[in-house]
Amino acid sequence: MDIEKERHIKELYDLKHFNDDNKHQSYDYQNNLYRRILSAILFKNEYLSAYLLKLQKGSVWMIDSVLVVRNFFDFSVDKYYDRHNN
């Protein structure tokens, strides 16, 4: 689940990120956010685990929206570059 990939048209995303390399990749919080910050006991219950993973998607959307705003106030990042590593 890549939030940035979901909000663009697949062909345009592939064209824009054709030459991307993985040297600037940060921690994959989009798939592991709640598993890292919550107790492992919560994920033993399959119903609660499924619910938490649904909530995680909303939390990731909120974090991504803040990171885009953060680019406008960070002088070291181009303000039109919409991806900000942690």
3-state secondary structure labels for all residues of 10-69: HHHHHHHCCCCCHHHCCCCHHHHHHHHHCCHHHHHCHHHHHHHHHHHHHHHHHHHHHHHH
Report how far apart, in Å, the C-alpha atoms of 2 and of each of 42, 47, 50 are.
24, 23, 18
Tell me if 84 is assigned to some domain.
Answer: no
Residue pLDDT, tens place only, 36-68: 899 999 999 999 999 999 999 999 888 877 766
Q: Domain limits at 60? A: 3-17+26-73
Tell me if 46 is assigned to some domain.
Answer: yes
pTM (2 d.p.): 0.52
What's residue 68's pLDDT?
A: 66
Q: Quick one: what percent of the chain has pLDDT higher than 70?
A: 65
More confident position, 74 or 39? 39
Tell me if 69 is assigned to some domain.
Answer: yes
Domain count, the chain: 1
